[in-house]
Structure formats: structure tokens, C-alpha cells
Amino acid sequence: MELPFAESYRIKMVEPIYRSTREQREEWIKQAHYNLFNLKSEQVFIDLLTDSGTGAMSHNQWAAMMTGDESYAGSSSYYHLKNAIRDILGFEYFLPTHQGRAAENVLFSVLVKAGDVVPGNSHFDTTKGHIEFRKASAIDCTIDEAFDTESLHPFKGNVDLRKLESVYSSYHQEEIPMVIVTLTCNTSGGQPVSMQNLKDVYELSKRYGIKVVFDSARFAENAWFIKEREPGYGDKSIREIVAEMFSYADAMTMSSKKDGIVNIGGFIAMKDEKLFQNASVFNIMYEGFNTYGGMAGRDMNALSVGLNEVTDDHYLENRVKQVEYLGNRLIGWGIPVQKPIGGHAVFVDARKFLKHVPKEEYVAQTLAIELYLEAGVRGVEVGTLLADRDPKTGENRYPKLEMLRLAIPRRAYTNNHMDVVAVALKNIFDRREKITHGFKIEKEAPIMRHFTVELERIV
């Protein structure tokens, strides 16, 4: 008999979590103005709001934190991280930042100006926010298959080369500071980009003189899918695949809170010394001196270990299999999700799930709140609230996908927790016909509103 799959780690420390009553949750979510970001952590039983900074660090990472060098300049921890980035990712120059959006802020301060266009594959919220804050435009060039949740295309994060070349040929070179390729593509469901597509994007961009920048928060998960799904890569190591991936990029931003497996931190890495020097001006102004940026020495040490751990095949197998486990349980009950299952989260198709809730009443947010009320599980809306309003018309933007994202923290929950999530969604699915109304906005910020929006239930 074949042995069953088991995680290649054991648990050394646990944190108690509180199982609340439905009555408590109804009061708490009302007090939070129906915004799941406003809940206190102790009011949540299983927290799938994000996989960013919520994973469990290894004993080697904790040990490395104890030897962090907190020198203001020239910290040895900086050089540990510099060496890891050079050896694993292939970039000679890097700047530490406190998280991914800070890396975007610094890099875009150098590259993006008013009137520019920045093509890419479904820019995520902070990326689009930083572009639009600078009065530039993000243009989505993702392949059409990404928006068909039933399609089994293995690389739904791919950039459509025809769409991309249309952008390149429609604007002057100086109006296109870069193309951003997100690995994996979060907005389309944690979907990977193929190696061939990365190569093709790079070659096309070089013909037009455009920089290629990777949003690399989940680069290792992307490498895993290349190994599993793309011909010619099954026998290659994750390290070899990662090295080839980044050979097709001029620069990268990183939220290290994802595939760095740390609680805080990020960085920008680049191959061009001039870009490094220009970015250094803004990094010093916004983040800190170049050898610490927005990070403590101990966190740089933990990240240097995390980059090594995340590129291990066994770690990635554990990671992806748990996400698949939850996704497959939902598929077995007919619950509509983005297929194939992504690397960091299961994305539930809220429009297909709650067919009677009007799109103007924030369908994915409605489903997210129902899940919290059912079992104390916190997910996040990736839909109309996150899409913000059109900066020119002020009207809601209705994205092609209206999703409830269930982002699974790394090494933090067991499959028993996944079973709770699955059964809770099944219970809601069984009574979905009775859910006919959602929410309206009472108060919102002018940009990235989903973090602080206040809602009122429509009855």
C-alpha cells in the first residue's frame, strides 16, 4: 500500500484560538461596519484574510533572528540578505524596504510619472494604487482564459503578447516605464506564469526598449507550477527554475511577507547600477539608509534563511498540497472556484455562488461576511470593492472576476482547519438561494478603499 502524504515538518509551538458564537460574530461584524479588516484578531477563528506576514517561521529563522546585527550602517545582516538575493535570484543590487508596497513606492518614484501607462497581468491593489496615485494608468494584458474560472489552462497568469504589443505600439517608449509581471498572479486567482511566457515577454519588451519588472511576492510557488506543469522542467530543481525565471527580468519588487516566510519586510532588486543609485535616493528618504532600509537586522537574517527554505521542493509540495486540499473539497461539493487551484489561496467565484445578489451590492463582500458569520472564518473580497472607482468617472469598476479569496498562511493551520472552512462554505452554498441582498457603502477612502470602507447591510 502506498504511504499517504504527510507534511515534512512537525509543530513545536501552538497558539490558542477562540471559537466564538454566531451571536458574538453578528455583533462584532456590525461594530466593524461589515469590514472584515476592522475585526480584532481574537474575534476570528480561522484567519484566511491574507497569507502576507501570517506564516509560521522555522526554528532556523528564529535562531537567525537572535544573531541579527542592528548596526545602522554596514550591518552583517544586510550582507547575509544581499548574498541570498544574489545567489538565489541573480540580482547584484538590492534595497531593503519594510514591505512590498514600500518597494513599489520607492521604485515607482523613480520610474512612473503622470500620463504614463504600465501594462501587466492583472495588477494587484497596491500596485495599481501606486500607479494611479501618480496619475498614470495600469493596463491589464492578462490572457482571456484567466477570467473563465472553469478553464483548466495551466498558466492563467500569462501575459497576452498581442495585448502587450498593442500597448507598446500605441504609446511612445518614454510613456511606458515598465511592464509588470506578477508571480503568481494574485488577482486572477494565484495563477502562475509559464517560463515560455516570461521569456516571450522579455524578448518582446527588449525589442521595444521597455523594462521588465517582476512583482515577485510568490515567485517560489510560481516556480513549483512551472516544474509541475511545463514540459521540460520536471527534472529541474526549484533553484534552477527560479534562476531562469529571473534571467528574464530587469528588476523586481518583493513583499517578503509571502514567499520570504517572514512577518515583515520587502526589497527591490535590480541589475542596473544607475537604477539602483536613483532608487537609493528615494529609499533613504522614505525607508532608511541603504543597508537597513525599512528592516531590522534580525528580520533581514530571518529573510535570508526564508529565501533558502522557500526554494526547497519539499516545502513547496507541502504548501501547494494544502491549498489544493481545500480547493478540491469545495470542487467536490460543486462550489464554484477558480480552476486550477492557485498556489497561495482558493478563490471562490462569488457571482456564480450568490446569483441573486446584484453586482452593485458587492457580491464577494457579501459572501465573505456570510462565511465569517457561519464559522468565524475571515477571508477577503477580491472584487468590486478592491477594484476601486474609476479615477476619471468616479463610478465603480466592476472587474471580470468577483472573488472571495481564502489565503492560507504558510505552515500555520492543519487540514482540520481546512475542513471547517470547507463545511462552512458548503452550509452557505446549501442556502444560497435565500441570500438576495448585500451591502451599500457608507464611507470610503478615495483610493484603496477596501481596507477602511464602512458598509451598511441592505434589507
What's 61's DSSP letter?
A: H
CA nearest to 176, candidates 216, 214, 205, 203: 205
Q: Which helix (H) or strand (E) holds 387?
A: helix 384-387
- The verdict on whether 215 is a catalytic residue reads yes
In sequence order, the β-bridge partners of residue 47 are: 378
Q: Write down the catalytic residue from 69, 116, 140, 215.
A: 215
How far apart CA 277 and CA 95 sit, in angstroms, is 10
Q: At what angle do helices 415-430 and 313-332 cross, to 10 degrees?
A: 20
**Residue 396 contacts residue 360 (beta carbons within 8 Å):** yes
Query: Is 114 marked active-site?
Result: no
C-alpha distance from residue 65 to each of 62, 191, 262, 263, 409 (Å): 5, 32, 11, 12, 20
**Of residues 72, 321, 398, 443, which has the active-site annotation?**
72
The one catalytic residue in 217, 251, 279, 375 is 217
Q: Of these residues, 34, 124, 225, 233, which one is catalytic?
A: 124
Q: Backbone phi, then psi, for 104, in 5-degree steps?
A: -60, -45
**Do the bridges between strand 454-457 and strand 439-443 make them parallel or antiparallel, or are there none, so unpaired?**
antiparallel
160 tagged catalytic: no
Task: Determine the Cα–Cα distance for residues 157 and 342; give it in Å rounded to an integer.
Answer: 10
The residue type at 164: L
Catalytic residue among 47, 116, 125, 160: 125
Q: How far is the C-alpha of 368 from the C-alpha of 363, rounded, in Å? A: 9
* 413 given a catalytic annotation: no
Q: Which of 258, 339, 344, 417 is catalytic?
A: 258
- Rounded CA separation 48/348 (Å): 13
The β-bridge partners of 253 are 215, 268
- Active-site residue, 235 included: no
Selected catalytic residue, list 123, 130, 344, 450: 450
Give yes or no: 417 in active site: no
CA 217, CA 103: separation in Å to the nearest integer? 11
Active-site annotation holds for 200: no
Question: One-letter amino acid identity for 378?
Answer: R
Q: Could you tell me the three cell numbers for 16?
A: 490558542
Contacts of 207-210 with CB under 8 Å at 24 or more apart are 208/168, 208/173, 208/176, 209/173, 210/168, 210/173, 210/176, 210/178, 210/179
Catalytic residues: 72, 124-125, 215, 217, 258, 450
